[in-house]
A and B are shown apart, each in its own frame.
Chain A
Amino acid sequence: GAGVSQSPSNKVTEKGKDVELRCDPISGHTALYWYRQSLGQGLEFLIYFQGNSAPDKSGLPSDRFSAERTGGSVSTLTIQRTQQEDSAVYLCASSLEYEQFFGPGTRLTVL
């Protein structure tokens, strides 16, 4: 079956521009997570959606970062006024119970 998909796979942008990253979770999964992976680092939690509950935004590094999940399915992570330190791989995961299934990630490069 289809796994988690993310688009675009790569995004190069200029400092100060806004970017949108998309995640399509596995159908029927109620939970959706965004993580960030910087070079040589582990995965850093950003935001978590569970069903119709208010999202857990405790991992967002600044107010330039926001995310939405429409209709309990597709999610969009938006980064406004991008900075060079935002360069990383952004990973999305979805789950029904314990196991989180990851997408391939979006590699963001801010010049």
Chain B
Amino acid sequence: GENVEQHPSTLSVQEGDSAVIKCTYSDSASNYFPWYKQELGKGPQLIIDIRSNVGEKKDQRIAVTLNKTAKHFSLHITETQPEDSAVYFCAASKGYSTLTFGKGTMLLVSP
């Protein structure tokens, strides 16, 4: 089955800096790659996703890049703010199906 590896497990940045989280996947048939943000005591919330027919997608300060050949995808957050502090999860799936998640990255943005 699919296996998703996520790095780093923790990331500390200063407010205004950029943050990058990287994930690799094992199943070349996976074609949907969402990123979720989870705040303490809440369920994960989708922040951005990408499908395998595009290499990059951007939404304001957040962007995701996908390299199908290398089977890795990354989340980029620019101009980080304290409210970006949370746990971020990457995931992969084949179409409308169950998601396989990475183990998460705890992002801490210090003012």
**Contacts from A to B (Cβ < 8 Å):** 4, 31, 33, 35, 40-45, 48, 50, 56, 59, 91, 93, 95, 97-105
Task: Assess the B45–A102 pair: CB atoms within 8 A.
Answer: yes
CA distance A31 to B97 in the complex (A): 9
Task: Assess the A102–B44 pair: CB atoms within 8 A.
Answer: yes
Contacts A42-B89, A42-B104 given; does A100 touch B43 at CB 8 Å? no
**Which of A45, A97, A98 contacts B98 (CB under 8 A)?**
A45
Task: Assess the B43–A33 pair: CB atoms within 8 A.
Answer: no
Task: Assess the A103–B43 pair: CB atoms within 8 A.
Answer: yes
Contacts A41-B103, A42-B103, A99-B34 given; does A104 touch B43 at CB 8 Å? yes
Task: Assess the A104–B46 pair: CB atoms within 8 A.
Answer: no
Contacts A42-B89, A99-B34 given; does A59 touch B43 at CB 8 Å? no
Which chain A residue has the least Cβ–Cβ distance from B46? A99
Task: Assess the A45–B34 pair: CB atoms within 8 A.
Answer: no
**Which interface class (under 10, 10 to 19, 20 to 34, 35 or more) fits B?**
20 to 34
Q: State which residues 1-48 of B face A: CB under 8 Å.
A: 4, 6, 32, 34, 36, 41-46
Contacts A100-B46, A104-B43, A105-B43 given; does A42 touch B102 at CB 8 Å? yes
Which chain A residue has the least Cβ–Cβ distance from B44? A102
13 contacts between A and B (CB under 8 A): A35-B101, A41-B103, A42-B6, A42-B89, A43-B99, A45-B99, A45-B100, A91-B44, A93-B43, A99-B34, A100-B46, A102-B44, A103-B43
- Since A42-B101, A104-B43 are in contact, a sample of 17 more A-B pairs with Cβ atoms closer than 8 Å, ordered by chain A residue number, is A4-B43, A31-B96, A42-B4, A42-B103, A43-B89, A43-B91, A45-B98, A56-B98, A59-B98, A91-B43, A97-B96, A98-B32, A98-B34, A98-B51, A98-B95, A100-B34, A101-B46
